[in-house]
Structure 1
Amino acid sequence: MADFIDDINAVHREVGRRRIPAGDGHVVVLSRRYEATLEDVWNACTTPERLARWLTPVTGDLREGGSYQLEGNAGGKILACERPHLLRVTWVFGENVTEADVSEVTLRLSAEDYGATRLTLEHASVGDPEFWDRYGPGATGVGWDLSLLGLAIHLADEPLPDKETFHTTPEGRSFVTDVSQRWRAAHVASGAPADAAERAAAATAAFFAPEE
């Protein structure tokens, strides 16, 4: 679990608000440094062959103004693509969605010293207020934490854990529980009451890694 602890500690998490076309939304922000070049990280995040290795297969017209679909996950339109620094997309999950269900994901990459890269991901969404009250930022944040962990393992050219069973392993449960608590802390830092943030973190952990 030591390596996963390092990955958990490597991510900076924030919670805020930002207006998007769907309305005034909540924003979760994750930022971490990868010991890989800017071009390598950009390619890992935008090349279908590499995305399939650490995230999920993607199809579509993969260019600015085009659209994409992640297998078994979200799809949307590509709003901006400025190689190798900026990718912004709409994020839509499911069918029969309303305008309020259309969220936005922004990925920013910047070069750092010693050939490393800083990745910052923002996910802004309006969504259902009751859902936010129940799960808080962790409902979105934990999913992205798992994705950034997968990216780190991929960039290190190491084997990824089985996505279907990771949450059932002791290491996977510990990862989800710890990250849920990190989002609790970010939630409180954004102004949320401590008791509400704790309940949301517990609900999030139970959602991602339910007890058998």
Structure 2
Amino acid sequence: MDIVHEITRAHRELLDGERKVMTLTRSYDADVEDVWDACTDADRLKRWFLPVSGDLRLGGSYQFEGQAGGEILRCEPPRLLKVSWLYGEDPLFSEVEVRLSSEGGGTLLELRHTADVPPDMWSGYGPGAVGVGWDLTLLGLAMHLAGAPKVDESTFHLTEDGRRCIVTSSQAWGRAYTAAGGSPDQVATTVANTTAFYAPEEESS
């Protein structure tokens, strides 16, 4: 699998209003039921994303290990899942919606993340702050659906392909920011900061 190509397969959009809306759309060579199962079954989720606990049904709550948690707001198998996506002790508004539709012999996945973002976070990192994370998450899903092993997240950014994936994603979110009206200087700052966060240079001994 060409994992950098998997990053370039996605389409990204940003609505840069008072509340930020980041949308990531890409296709998978698997049927809708398989993609839905991979995204909602606890046993499969831990094989490509993270262990999840909670009452995994409509109206229930969930918690990803070391990551976000929240409430399951909508669940319409195998097409629509919407959850609150909350992290930290005093989280701001944040929701994630995933829509699946048949496309040829495969599946079109649309992930929309709507959130209130602190101004200092936005000015420093822009949409790439969460956008790169979602790109890498959907890369993990692609690898799982293809039968590839899960990557080691602790060292992924140190590999040549891993760094290329991160840089490609960060730059792509920069282009989405530009299309949404971001200034050249602001976009350049956020792309540089996001890339440095996800793929810090290895310290020399």
TM-score (normalizing by structure 1): 0.92
Q: How many Å separate the matches in 2 of 1:200 and 1:78?
A: 31
Q: How many Å separate the matches in 2 of 1:201 and 1:162?
A: 24
**Superposed displacement of residue 60, structure 1:** 0.3
Secondary structure, counterpart of 1:111 in structure 2: strand
Partner of 1:153: 143
The count of corresponding residues between Structure 1 and Structure 2 is: 202
Partner of 2:193: 203
Q: How many Å separate the matches in 1 of 2:77 and 2:100?
A: 9
Q: How many Å separate the matches in 2 of 1:147 and 1:15?
A: 18
1:40 to 34, 39, 49: 34
Residue pair 2:8, 2:168 contacting (<8 A) in 1 also: no
Matched, 1:127 2:117: yes
CA RMSD of aligned residues (A): 1.2
Which runs of structure 1 show a deviation greater than 2 angstroms over 4 or more consecutive aligned residues?
none
Matched, 1:62 2:56: yes
Partner of 1:87: 81
**Superposed displacement of residue 17, structure 1:** 4.5
Residue pair 2:81, 2:99 contacting (<8 A) in 1 also: yes
Gaps of 5+ in 1: 19-23
**What percent identity do the matched residue pairs reach?**
51
The residue type paired with residue 153 of structure 1 is M
Q: How many Å separate the matches in 2 of 1:28 and 1:190?
A: 11
Structure 1 residues 186-201: aligned runs within 5 Å: 186-201=176-191
Partner of 1:9: 8
**Superposed displacement of residue 41, structure 1:** 0.1
Q: How many Å separate the matches in 2 of 1:55 and 1:177?
A: 21
**Superposed displacement of residue 160, structure 1:** 2.1
Matched, 1:142 2:139: no
Partner of 1:26: 20
Gaps of 5+ in 2: none
Q: How many Å separate the matches in 1 of 2:93 and 2:87?
A: 8
Q: How many Å separate the matches in 1 of 2:14 and 2:139?
A: 19
